[in-house]
């Protein structure tokens, strides 16, 4: 089979043999509420009610983050330790060379792109996001199944390429060639509203590229050519390798990373703590407007 490294269409995924692909359902709703509290289990409940046949489930909070590290100033969704991520991937039965396809309910703009990026971080190239997400699968009239899927576990030990992300707040602004791209919606970037974090605004010097601009009206990614031109317009004289993406907690920024890779602009990085990590210290400067 042809290796998919960024996006895959629903029909292409349906044509793959179950032995040739690991499908991961990453549905998760950051703002879901129940009885006045965060409803972190809604995505998994939706998965159990119906999902792409053969898909396992990944929780943004439990599998793709390590919330116990929030107190370290690493943001709302700190990266899991490589050992913990290795255990998660092993529990899914992944083996080197196996194609991985992740999807969510938001066109890949939430946890599906986060999983894609984590796999890239450990050197897995054959990882893709389902273009259009679960909605595209349903729109194509493809089958679904209910209940939990378990796969025979494997045993893999993965290691992060630490050159592909930043966690050091102190040195975020010390490289004049570095370009920060903030993936949050414009009102949050400007500091007009802030529904989640301590304060609104942005890191001084950061530019705004809302991740929602990567998608067309149908919820699927724009063409690679269109995305390439749009990002080049934002980058100006900066090379892709000089770009550092951020968002609220290091999740939706991965959508911009994916869009740039799909557009042929490889080499950008992630500021993993993102805005929630930056404002964990009130002494750090905040820009508005």
Q: Residue 201: left (phi > 0), alpha (psi -120 to 50), or beta?
A: left
- Which is catalytic among the residues 247, 251, 253, 258? 247
Residue 247 annotated in active site:
yes
Residues taking part in catalysis: 247
């Amino acid at each position: 089979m042809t290796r998919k490294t960024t996006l895959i269409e629903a029909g292409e995924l349906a044509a793959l043999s179950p032995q040739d692909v690991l499908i991961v359902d990453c549905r998760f709703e950051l703002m879901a509420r129940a009885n006045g509290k965060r409803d972190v289990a809604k995505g998994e409940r939706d998965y159990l009610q119906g999902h792409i046949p053969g898909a396992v489930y990944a929780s943004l909070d439990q599998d793709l983050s390590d919330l116990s590290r929030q107190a370290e100033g690493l943001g709302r969704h700190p990266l899991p330790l490589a050992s913990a991520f290795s255990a998660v991937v092993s529990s899914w039965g992944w083996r080197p060379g196996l194609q991985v396809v992740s999807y969510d309910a938001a066109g890949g703009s939430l946890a599906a792109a986060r999983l894609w990026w984590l796999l890239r971080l450990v050197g897995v190239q054959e990882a893709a996001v389902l273009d259009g997400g679960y909605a595209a699968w349903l729109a194509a009239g493809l089958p679904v199944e209910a209940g939990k899927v378990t796969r025979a576990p494997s045993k893999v030990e993965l290691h992060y390429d630490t050159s592909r992300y930043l966690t050091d707040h102190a040195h975020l602004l010390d490289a004049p060639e570095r370009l920060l791209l903030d993936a949050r919606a414009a009102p949050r970037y400007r500091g007009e509203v802030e529904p989640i974090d301590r304060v609104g605004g942005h890191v001084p010097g950061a530019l705004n590229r809302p991740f929602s601009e990567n998608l067309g009206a149908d919820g699927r990614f724009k063409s690679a050519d269109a995305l390439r031109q749009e990002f080049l317009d934002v980058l100006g004289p900066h090379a892709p390798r000089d770009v550092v993406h951020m968002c609220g907690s290091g999740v939706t920024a991965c959508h911009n990373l994916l869009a740039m890779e799909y557009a042929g602009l490889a080499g950008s990085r992630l500021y993993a703590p993102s805005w929630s990590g930056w404002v964990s210290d009130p002494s750090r400067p905040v820009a508005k407007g």
